[in-house]
Structures are given as structure tokens and as C-alpha cells.
Amino acid sequence: MSTPPRRRAPARRAKAPAKPWEGRFSAATDALVEAFTVSVESDFRLATQDIAGSVAHVRSLGRAGILPPREITRLERGLRAVEREIRAGRFRVRPGDEDVHMAVERRLTELVGEVGGKVHTGRSRNDQVATDLRLWLREQIDTIDSEIAALIAALGICAERDLDVALPGYTHLQRAQPVLLAHHWLAYVEMLLRDQGRLRDCRQRLNVLPLGAGALAGSGFAIDRARVARELGFASASRTSLDAVSDRDFVVEFLAAAALIAVHLSRLAEEIVLWSGEEFGFIDLPDAFATGSSMMPQKKNPDVAELTRGRSGRVIGALVAVLTMLKGLPLAYNRDLQEDKPPLFEAIDVLRPCLQIMARMMPRLRPRRERMAGAAGGFALATELADFLVGRGLPFRQAHAVVGRIVGACVEQGRALEDLSRRDLAAFHPLLDHVAARRVLSVDAAIARRRISGGTARRNAEQRLAELRTDGLLGPARGRRRG
């Protein structure tokens, strides 16, 4: 990814290059306006994509007979030379470089002479920036897709490791029913798989070439847009020039997908924060992914999870910023669209490290098995007792009421469901005077009963892991410890 080079004037201060539109104006642009409208510090990260688009455009001008072969060769060599300077970090933004397009064209002209001014034949910065941004975002989506895959693989490692670890599942943050910890991790895998699907869907829609749309009405030169699209890896060329230069749906779609990824990471991070505290005590944080306190020696803070949770707000904010910027724009291009890139860039700069660090941290978390198992029993087994009564013919509503009275009595007496004898249970309903009623009051039995497709039974978790492995989302099976 190209980063904005530092603005540095040349040793001998030369007059800034003339703006291409200065023939229309009789007075120089106010210095404050120059500073207000400049975007090169932000959009220079599109520089290599700008050059790729320019090379393809120059070649199309040659094929159309608009530029002779010798000029095509000079321009392409010059553009490649500029690209090498950018990749080597030698490129210097100069005064007057308003945006990445002007910076590249200015340097190209310095290298090849006046023929550099022909690179912009038949195009506008409107279709140019739309092309650059699609090329850049396409690469980012592919990278983020692979980073999500790494987190899925990390969660798969956790799930395989924790196939014999039980914990209470929660509703309303109250203990509800026992589940496998592996089942819990696999829930996040499903979220991330949907995230990948949204990204890939977005990529498919953004993969349309705007170049050739010109400022808004289309180029006046007979450029073979279909061939340019193939050369740049686009599936097709845009069909309506007005839409092509003003469309930022693909930015919004990406940011919506990114915001949901950030929300999923935030939910996972929140559970890590809760579970690592002594009130839950469900997991031990690895030292390498925690920090201490400057004042309190005993502290071990889940800062990685907290920052992941907190930074989700910046990704969500980027989506809101772009939607708000777009909502009042008439066709076609408006300068407001310059403001799409800072929030987009920030969202990606925030999201990617969150994905990377969570993928590194998750396999290193250590569950406290006994603490989790102890919390998974007790009143979390109440539904098992109600289901037992239903299985012997009692209507569920009646069974629910019976077990509710049992729980209420246990609360008053300070007892757990597992402490009740057959005689205790039978005092609430004669159907509970059965040895099988006691057997259902077991965490392992409760989990094993959820054999229905999608349930928390171990065999379901093992089957899902096998499916993920078949799909190439997980590595080779590891040795599993059975409880």
C-alpha cells in the first residue's frame, strides 16, 4: 500500500506547475482555497492504481490511433519510472500537486517532456479517480478476506481444542443452558463466514470499469472500453456515464460490510473482557496480549479486546460519514465525493489490525475448565427437568410451572437442583419420582441431548469442524483431548 510522501519543496524553488484549467481564469487561486481543496495527502495511496489505469488508458489511445506508437512507448516508460519512484519512496509531492492524479502527471511530464500532457486525452479526473478507487478497494477486499480466513482458522483451533469444555450459554446475560465452548467459538465462525460473503458480493458489484465515462457524458474518443476493462481485471465496463462518475455505492457497501465485521469483533472482544475478569473467571489472558496498570500491581488488563471493541465505533462512523456525504448529491460528479476516501481509508486502517491481532490472540486464550463447568450446572439445568416432564406426557406449560416452583424453593433454601433427591423432586410432582429424573440433571447429559442439527452436542461440533476442513477453511485435524 502506498503511503503519502512528505510534501517537500525542491532545493531550488521553482514555480508550481500550471493548473490544467488556468486558461479559464484571470486571477490566481487564493492560497487558502489551495490549502482547502488539496487532497494529495490523503489520496496518494491510490498512486500505483492511478499509474495502472493510466498505462491501460495510454495503450487504448494507441489502439484507437489517437497517439502514435513512439509516444505510447515514451508515456508508458515514463509512467513505469514514476511507479518505481513511488515504490522506492523517492517520489516527492511538490507545491501545486492538488491530488494524486496531478502529482503523477506532473512528474511524468518532468520525465518525458510535453508529451506527458497527452496522458489525459479522452478522460477526466472524475472517471480516473473512480477507476483508481475501485482498483484499490478490490485489492483491500481480497486482503481483508484472507485476514478473516485467518481468524476463522484461529477459532477453528479453539473449537477443536475445547470440544470437551462446557460453559453456561447466556440470554439477557443470565445463565440459560449448558453449551460446549467449541459450539460458542463456532458461532463466531458463522458470523465471519457471512462477513466474507458480503465482502465477496461487494467485490463483484464494484468490479465494473468507470474509465471512459469522462467527466460525465463519456469520452469523445473511440476507446475500446471492454478491452481496457479486461486489461485491468474488471468484469465489465460501466453502462451509463452519469452513474459511473458519481457512483459510490461500492464504498458504502464495503463500509457496511466492514462495520458489521467490526461489530462481530466487538461482540467477541466484549466476551473476552467479561470472561477474563474475576467475576466470571472463565479464561486466562496470555501475558503477551494483556497490559498492566501504572498504579495497581495486581492488574492484568484485556486492552487488546477493549481497543478492538472501542475501535469498532470508528468503522461504524466511517459508514455514517459517507452515507451522510452522499445523501444530497445531484448527478453527476460533485467535489463532495473527495470526502469519500478519508473515512474509507481510516476504516480499513482500523479494521485490518483488529482482525490480525484477534487471530493471533484467540488460540492463546486458556479456558478455566472447572470454573466454566461449575457455572454450567445449577439452575441452567432447569429446562432439562421441564423437558423430562414433557417426555412423560405433561403439557409444557404445566411442566414449566412445576420446575419454576422447584427453582424458587431451591433459591429460598440455598440449594442447587443437583442437590435434590428423588423424594425431594417427587414432592413437587409424582412424575419426578423416577431415577431418570435425577439423571437429566447433568451438564454432560444436557449437552448430549442437543443432537438436533445445529445443536450444541459434541458430534455436531465435530461434524461442523470436518465440513470447514473439507472447505479448506481449517488446517489438518489436531489431536483432541477427550474429557
Which residues are tagged catalytic? Answer: 172, 293
| Distance of alpha carbon 182 from alpha carbon 458, whole angstroms | 8
- Are 129 and 123 in contact by the 8 Å Cβ rule? The answer is no
Residue 4 φ then ψ, to 5°: -60, 125
Asked if residue 332 has a cis previous peptide bond (ω within 30° of 0), the answer is yes
Residue 237 φ then ψ, to 5°: -105, 150
The 3-state DSSP composition of the chain as helix, strand, coil percent (nearest 5) reads 65, 5, 30
| Own/partner pairs, 321-330, CB within 8 angstroms, 24+ separation | 322/248, 322/251, 322/252, 322/255, 323/252, 326/248, 326/252, 329/246
| Distance of alpha carbon 318 from alpha carbon 299, whole angstroms | 34
Residue 482 φ then ψ, to 5°: -95, 140
Burial 164-180 (b: 16+ CB within 10 A, else e): bbbbbbeeeeebebbbb
How many residues does this entry show for the chain? Answer: 483
- Are 241 and 218 in contact by the 8 Å Cβ rule? The answer is yes
| Distance of alpha carbon 21 from alpha carbon 48, whole angstroms | 25
384, three cell numbers? 432439562
DSSP states along 307-343: HHHHHHHHHHHHHHHHHHHHTTPPSS--GGGGGGHHH
- Are 55 and 79 in contact by the 8 Å Cβ rule? The answer is yes
Beta strands in 260-410 (DSSP E): 283-284, 366-367
CA atoms within 13 A on the CB side of 134: 32
